[in-house]
Structure 1
Amino acid sequence: MRRVFKWFAFLFGLVGGWFLFKWLWESWQPQQIVSAPMPTVEPERIEPLETSTTSPAPPTSTPAEQTSPAPEPAPSPQTLPEEAPLAYCVRCRKKQPVNNPVYETTPKGRRRLRGTCAVCGAKVSQFVKST
């Protein structure tokens, strides 16, 4: 009889010890915060603008007809500058002008310039100001 009691006490100790260990382990673990998954956003791709090489002829008018020159509109962020933008080329190890510049927005909302190096033809990419 004593031997049976020892086996029951042994088994009860194992099971009770397991539940005690499990309870302590769960109480010491940090709480997990369950949130909704972030929606994926496709990057907005902005193509380079077509620039014409010919400039329009200046209007022919007399100085009396000209009152004041019209203010130039502020350049929008999607327009390309007249001079070629510069980006760091890894092959050349310095800033070089960029051929075929493309301004795009990353999925996180940052603006990026992509193109090819005008000197060696390597792909270059650089983050630019958003405004």
Structure 2
Amino acid sequence: MILPLFTALAIALWGILWYREEQSERGHLSISQVKARLQPQTLSPTELESLLIPREMIRDFDSPFDAEATPEALPYPQNPVPLNDDRAGAIETPTEEAGETLMGYCVRCRAKRFLVRTEITTTRNGRPAVRGECAICGAGMLVFSVSDKQRDG
């Protein structure tokens, strides 16, 4: 009965000594050292400003160039220009069929564009739609249309 008690005591003593050796070898920090590292650093106002606002973004608002930088003064392109040369021939002007032009969302351009070369189709679910191509990039587009039943009801 005493032998297991001495064995447990010896193992506990060995564990405590081993733990203390590991602590000293690893160089663990004391509680005061940990608290000192966790406290935020205090910065001077100029250092704080340099971190928050880059010098390139600071500009003089009294400069004479502010009047010229208004959006109305900037040139606006009249004709859209394709991104690549291989799509240069794909730009078309939308033709008015039945008195209206259709617009839809082009996934490739990521913008709302006119449809060209349109054809009226029906989806697999039976919903009427207009299939066409983007006037800018030539990607396939599908726009759902309103059927006669939906207009009446």
TM-score range, shorter chain: 0.3 to 0.5
Which is greater in Rg? 2
User: More strand by proportion, 1 or 2?
Assistant: 1
What TM-score comes out, normalization by structure 1 length?
Answer: 0.36
Provide the TM-score with structure 2 as the length reference. Answer: 0.31
